[in-house]
Structure 1
Amino acid sequence: MKNRILKICLVLISVLIVWGVYVVLKPEPKTIAGLMESYENPGIKIKIRSPFSGTVLVAKKGEVIFKEAYGLSNRETNEENEVDTKYGIGSVTKQFTAMLVMQLVEEGKLKLQDTIGYYLPYLPEEKANHITIHQLLTHTSGLAHYFALPAIGVNLSDFRKTKYTPKELVQLIGKTNMIAKPGEQFYYSSLGYDVLGAIIEEVSGKPFADFLDEKIVKPLQLKNTGFASNEYISNELAKGYAYREVYGLDWWTSEHGGEIREAPFRDQSTAYAAGGMHSTVEDLFIWSEAIKSHKLLSPELTKIMLSPDKKGHCYGWVRNWDDIVEKNINARLYGHGGALTGNSAYIGMYDDGTTIIYLANINNLKAEEILHQLYLRANDLKDDYKLKGYPNRSSYEKFIAAGGMTALKDYFQRLSEYSGYTVNPSNSTMRGVMKIHLEAGKQKVADSLKTVFLNTYNPNETTINDFGYDFLYSDNSNYALQFFIENTKRYPFSSNVWDSLGEAYLTYKDYDSAIDCYKKAVELGEQVNHRSLEDYKENLKKAESLNKS
């Protein structure tokens, strides 16, 4: 019996090895159709994070050369996606919001340098009298992204389920903590675009959906685009799904090596002008052509709208997304992606006339890989244009052998030149380089990297916390404390950062310091009735108990 089981196991292992070799050695498809089919099935799915389910359109110089749908729009009924299937487009909505603002500018009804308090006087003074419309459009307002809500005691899960009027949503945003002075730094903020939506309604005197319909949808005769109700989204759009990979025994019964679940409900009022619209690839192609031909906005104001500010961000668009440029140093484009739980979208307009649009109802997709591979096939190019010289950082020895910090600096300097704005190494790269230097006993280099990261990247509290926890549970646990302490200095009114610092002290068995931090977390948590308040109290009891023992 044991021998039979052993033989079965050996056969299964052999099958897996053969299948793995086949996947690795199988040549990548040469056509757009072949590429998308491979993304739909397990073939090279891993390169885009999730199996593709959605619709793709590729055009060259105004002519559509490819248009096809894949996967299911409803997995319960097995209804298939079609070319005219409507999807949530997430932050691609920001392009439309920016256009509505610019149309109001063209009509002389608002000015880009106006402060937002002129239109929304109920906002707190620090925001009302200092943030301009231009800063909201370019993500330089100092407003945070959604992570600012838990800091004021708003559970993100509850937030997504709650219905807000535009004024109620803006009043909530008004309570969030600023993360920079207006105009100083780039911080991507959907909350900023929600404020723009409220301003549009205030100036136009119409609901966002109606003004969008009047100024963009009807003039362009878009048949399947708009901002609609929860009921419409539920009944008329492809259902959204989330995918996660599974391993071990679960792999055998999985679909495409993962688990697919229906995305949770989100009230449209919370997505609003930052991410609540829906569309089709055909409508978005009409939209992209209208941008180029100035059907909705004068050439002068279109130029302003598409002028990059910090980090390449224009008004609702990004110029030369560095993740795409890194894969093809000759690529020049305007684009923007969108991602809701269960939806992924991207529209890219390349300078050479290539337009690529995809809409999907399974997330999370790796947009830069999809865009890059589609662009190569649309233009019959080989994959020979990657930026070269990225040093190996798997170990200190290999990193130094590849040129070390000099090579890393040179790589990102060249990427910045190709992109047209400063591109820094990613958070994970910085963290990894710090680790290999610490492991090699190069404390001073690691410290200098930490200083550069904290002062140049201006990371938010979530990012700093992530660094802290990553070091806390690594071979360099002592290094974690510096990040947690820095977080409390930068975000002293966040109960969560004090709780995290308390956990670090608890790990180091510094119970007195842990108690002080947990008390601070409880104090701040009580002020906003934080969702984790009871956890803070339990952590405090635990620290006090350990201190007595």
Structure 2
Amino acid sequence: MDGSAIDALAAETGFSGVVSVSRGGSVEFAKAYGLAHRGFDIPNELDTRFAIASGTKGLTALTVVSLIESGDLSLSTTARSVLGEDLPLIDSRVTVEHLLSHRSGIGDYFDEESTGDISDYALPVPVHELATTEQFLAVLDGHPTKFPPDSRFSYCNGGFVVLALIAERVSGVPFHDLVRARVCAPAGMHDTEFLRSDALPSRTALGYLPDSRTNVFHLPVRGNGDGGIYTTAADFNSFWPALFTGRIVSRSWADEMTRPRSDAGSMRYGLGFWLHASRDVVMLEGYDAGVSFRSVHAPHTRLTHTVISNSSDGAWPITRHLDAL
């Protein structure tokens, strides 16, 4: 494809990140722009790792479904049966299926329906205290139910941390290790990892706010079920074919996860995946302080485009342009 329009749009918007377009496993366009570390003028490269915020939710959903396939869980498993006395405000009727489909009605520790500018949000506990799944109990607790389970769709970050907690407790394996073993390894996503923001290795981009500060004080020091994994655009070129050829979970489960469960504004939602309002197109996306990400895949044409940026709004102009092609 002709990348001149992408180059022009990247220059116009000051885009920092990576753009990749592939079809049937063949890369048609891939280019890196901007800086991974502004203080040391380190440029982004095609293999630079970026945080993807809520793009992580699809990997969480697949981890949970893999545990369903192995008999450790079911869609009808209630959260209460695993949580015991923890998080007592979660309705006893809430199931794994409700959580996966954002239809649980539980109160959210980070409610995007009532949050203002993403850069202004501050976690209620010091970010360095959110490194393990169990540590998230401190922010998940105390949020009243919004509506009865399965009444409607309401995007819920906390619900996916609850899913991570359930997965960890029923398997006896730390959630981060579960995602690596059950999703990243079979998908060939060798550069995808839950990294600590205060110990980022080489070949990893810092996230930047509009005022040029990094996002290190705005996000948990290590991501979890609702967001925060680091990855590359190339790993998502591997992810989508792996999903739809049954290498992560069975093809029947992949189809079930990408079946519409709810209308969600301008899109639809399945189990952990966004879906186009009318076409056979599956998406994962993430938006947070210093992070923007969108990966779009059409299963029948095998066309994928991924835009991943280390700024809060960087990905959107380019991914909208690619949507229109």
Global fold match (TM > 0.5): yes
Residues 374 and 227 of structure 1, relative CA distance in 2, 3 Å threshold = same
1:336 to 2:288 alignment:
no
Describe the superposition over 1:6-44 as per-residue Cα deviations: whole angstroms up to 9, x where unpaired. xxxxxxxxxxxxxxxxxxxxxxxxx652122222223xx
User: What do you get for the CA RMSD once the two structures are aligned?
Assistant: 2.4
Q: Which residue identity lines up with residue 168 of structure 2 in the other structure? A: E
Note the 1:57-456 alignment, pairs <5 A. Answer: 57-127=20-90, 129-147=92-110, 156-159=122-125, 161-164=127-130, 165-170=132-137, 172-233=139-200, 236-243=203-210, 260-266=212-218, 268=220, 271-311=223-263, 312-320=268-276, 322=277, 331-350=279-298, 351-365=300-314, 367=316, 369-377=317-325
Contact (CA 8 Å) 1:160, 1:270: kept in 2 or not?
Answer: no
Contact (CA 8 Å) 2:186, 2:242: kept in 1 or not?
Answer: no
Residues 32 and 271 of structure 1, relative CA distance in 2, 3 Å threshold = farther
Contact (CA 8 Å) 2:36, 2:205: kept in 1 or not?
Answer: yes
Task: State the distance in 2 between where 1:72 and 1:106 align.
Answer: 42
SS of residue in 1 equivalent to 2:161: helix
Contact (CA 8 Å) 1:144, 1:188: kept in 2 or not?
Answer: no
Task: State the distance in 2 between where 1:121 and 1:362 align.
Answer: 39
**Larger relative contact order, structure 1 or 2 (CA cutoff 8 Å, min sep 6):** 2
Task: State the distance in 1 between where 2:74 and 2:197 align.
Answer: 33
Q: Which residue identity lines up with residue 190 of structure 2 in the other structure? A: K
Task: State the distance in 1 between where 2:197 and 2:110 align.
Answer: 24
Note the 1:11-90 alignment, pairs <5 A. Answer: 32-42=2-12, 45=13, 51-90=14-53
Contact (CA 8 Å) 2:196, 2:222: kept in 1 or not?
Answer: no
Larger helix share, 1 or 2: 1
Q: Which residue identity lines up with residue 273 of structure 2 in the other structure? A: W
Quote how far apart the aligned CAs of 1:123 are: 2.9
Quote how far apart the aligned CAs of 1:236 are: 4.9
Task: State the distance in 2 between where 1:114 and 1:352 align.
Answer: 36
Quote how far apart the aligned CAs of 1:376 are: 4.4
Task: State the distance in 2 between where 1:216 and 1:366 align.
Answer: 25
Quote how far apart the aligned CAs of 1:180 are: 1.1
Note the 1:528-539 alignment, pairs <5 A. Answer: none
Quote how far apart the aligned CAs of 1:118 are: 1.0
Quote how far apart the aligned CAs of 1:85 are: 0.2
Task: State the distance in 2 between where 1:363 and 1:148 align.
Answer: 17
State the match for 2:117 in structure 1: none
Contact (CA 8 Å) 1:122, 1:171: kept in 2 or not?
Answer: no
Query: Identity of paired residues, percent?
Result: 25
Task: State the distance in 1 between where 2:254 and 2:241 align.
Answer: 13
Aligned residues: 312
Q: Which residue identity lines up with residue 285 of structure 2 in the other structure? A: G
Larger strand share, 1 or 2: 2
SS of residue in 1 equivalent to 2:187: coil
Describe the superposition over 1:453-476 as per-residue Cα deviations: whole angstroms up to 9, x where unpaired. xxxxxxxxxxxxxxxxxxxxxxxx
Contact (CA 8 Å) 2:60, 2:226: kept in 1 or not?
Answer: yes
The TM-score with structure 2 as length reference comes to: 0.88
Quote how far apart the aligned CAs of 1:349 are: 0.7
Quote how far apart the aligned CAs of 1:146 are: 3.6
